[in-house]
Amino acid sequence: MTLCGAKDLISSPPLTHKDVENIITNGNGRTMPEHFDPKVLKAFIEAAPVFEEIFEAHTDLSANNKMEMAKNRL
């Protein structure tokens, strides 16, 4: 299983980055850390703070875009 594929599957319904990170690194019964190449998992854990920043930046942008669209409808 690829890390990206697992992240997409885990994120339906949408979860926070922290929720997905926890599932990938600790498991949830369906997805387990052992499913991934140890080197890839280690790299994911090391890069997780950067992923969190990206997630938060896009979450904020999405919320701002929704607010702007709502204002434009008025």
pLDDT at 11: 56
Answer left, alpha or beta for residue 29, where phi above 0 means left and psi between -120 and 50 means alpha: left
Note the pLDDT tens digit of each residue in 9-51.
665 667 777 888 998 999 988 889 999 999 999 999 999 999 8
- pLDDT tier, 65 (very low <50, low <70, confident <90, very high otherwise): low
Q: Is the peptide bond before 13 cis (omega within 30 degrees of 0)?
A: yes
